[in-house]
């Protein structure tokens, strides 16, 4: 039996019909047209699908939609201000971390949540956050450099 749930996405209240077993990535991509969130493994092991829920980075491929009532979701579509990129986006681009780009929405959202919580996050906290993300292209060094540059931009 379907039911309605209401939550906020990128500051806009949304109400959707759910059947009960859906995961958040399905609602975002298929019902709300927010395709910036990427589907990779679908089993919580690659990080491509990360969004931010009530300030925390969450893998949307395994997050049950039933738990969304009243929550605030931020997706990659919600981090820039119009055409002005968020410092995390800007830093990753400048560091050369964006190649095919498939992993990037998840990495941006992970760092966005981390730096909102801890603007001066330690190297170890950044490493721990990035550990949860796979990238087929970069070898990770450029992502690391981008994360450090983002911390610098946010501090300054
Ligand atoms: S698609 Fe969710 S962690 Fe890979
Ligand atoms: S830039 Fe291609 S998977 Fe990361």
Residues 41 and 68 in one domain: yes
Residues 58 and 94 in one domain: no
Whether 1 shows a pLDDT value over 80: the answer reads no
For a mutational test of ligand 1's pocket, the pick from 26, 38, 42, 57, i.e. the residue with the most ligand atoms closer than 8 A to its C-beta, is: 42
User: Domain total for the chain?
Assistant: 2
The β-bridge partners of 6 are 15
137, part of any domain: yes
Residues 110 and 129 in one domain: yes
Q: What residue numbers bound the domain in which 113 lies?
A: 87-155
- CA 62 – CA 143 distance, rounded (Å): 25
For a mutational test of ligand 2's pocket, the pick from 45, 50, 104, 130, i.e. the residue with the most ligand atoms closer than 8 A to its C-beta, is: 104
Residues 70 and 7 in one domain: yes
81, part of any domain: no
- CA 109 – CA 50 distance, rounded (Å): 6
User: Which pTM value belongs to this model?
Assistant: 0.97
142, part of any domain: yes
Whether 20 shows a pLDDT value over 90: the answer reads no
Q: Give buried/exposed letters for 79-102 (b at 16+ CB in 10 A, else e).
A: beeeeeebbbbbbbeebebbeeeb
Q: What is the pLDDT of residue 69?
A: 96
CB distance 18 to ligand 2 below 6 Å? no
Residues 16 and 67 in one domain: yes
């Amino acid at each position: 039996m379907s039911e309605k749930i209401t939550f906020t996405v990128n500051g806009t209240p949304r109400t959707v019909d759910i059947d009960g077993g859906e995961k958040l990535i399905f609602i975002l991509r298929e019902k709300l047209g927010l395709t910036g969130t990427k589907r990779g493994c679908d089993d919580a092991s690659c990080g491509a699908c990360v969004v931010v829920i009530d300030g925390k980075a969450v893998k949307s491929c395994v997050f049950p939609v039933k738990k969304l009532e009243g929550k605030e979701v931020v997706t990659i579509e919600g981090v820039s201000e119009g055409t002005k990129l968020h410092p995390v986006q800007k830093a990753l681009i400048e560091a050369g971390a964006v190649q095919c780009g498939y992993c990037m929405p998840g990495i941006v959202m992970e760092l966005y949540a981390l730096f909102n919580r801890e603007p001066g996050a330690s190297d170890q906290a950044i490493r721990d956050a990035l550990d949860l993300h796979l990238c087929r292209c970069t070898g990770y060094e450029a992502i690391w450099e981008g994360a450090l540059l983002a911390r610098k931009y946010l501090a300054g």
